[in-house]
Structure 1
Amino acid sequence: MKTVITIVGQDRVGIIAMVSNILAENNVNILNINQNILDGFFNMVMLVDMTQSIISLKDLGELLRGKGAAMGLDIKVQHEDIFRSMHRI
């Protein structure tokens, strides 16, 4: 199952490390990363594969949201199909 993770907030050291460590610990494979920083504002979209994951989509979302909130970030985790439907023009 492919999943889209979006991360938005003030740029700071350790954002990518925090997210990628959580994904690695839960056997979630990163397929693609698109990241931008503009005037100190951090924005990243990741496409990940949860086929071999040891955590549910719901639990991964809760874990990332909690860790992200502690760093002042807004992190959303969505199934790829839902993300595509929401962003279809």
Structure 2
Amino acid sequence: MSKAVITVVGQDKPGIIAAVASNLSKHHINILDVSQTIMQNIFTMSMLVNLETLDEQFNALQDELNQLGDKLGVTIHTQREEIFETMSRVSTQDQPF
């Protein structure tokens, strides 16, 4: 299964989750898991999504979500799951124990 991790960070305001979910739905992308919190008015959200039915190129989706983030006043970062996992492994290997 092809998956991606989407993170959203910015000032909290109504409609962020709805806008991101609506955009993904438009492309027939299923949200597999989502976690969100607000820390002192800073909104943070992480999503795991299924890309199997992506109806366009991944880079085009990234660009569209970046533009949506600009419109909402938040930062949206989209990574394929395998890249996210590789980066996590590399960063934890660099940590002294």
- Which interval holds the TM-score relative to the shorter structure? over 0.9
2:18 corresponds to which residue?
17
- Structure 2-normalised TM-score? 0.88
RMSD: 0.8
Bigger radius of gyration among the two = 2
More helix per residue = 2
The percent of aligned pairs where both chains have the same amino acid is 39
Which deviations, in whole Å up to 9, do the C-alpha atoms of 1:26-58 show, x marking residues without a partner? 000100001110110001010000101212211
SS in 2 for 1:53: coil
Structure 1 unpaired stretches of 5+: none
Matching of residue 26 in structure 1 with residue 24 in structure 2: no
Report the TM-score when normalising by structure 1.
Answer: 0.95
Deviation at 1:22, TM superposition (A): 0.5
Matches for 1:74-85 after TM superposition, within 5 Å: 74-85=75-86
Task: Give yes or no for the alignment of 1:8 onto 2:32.
Answer: no
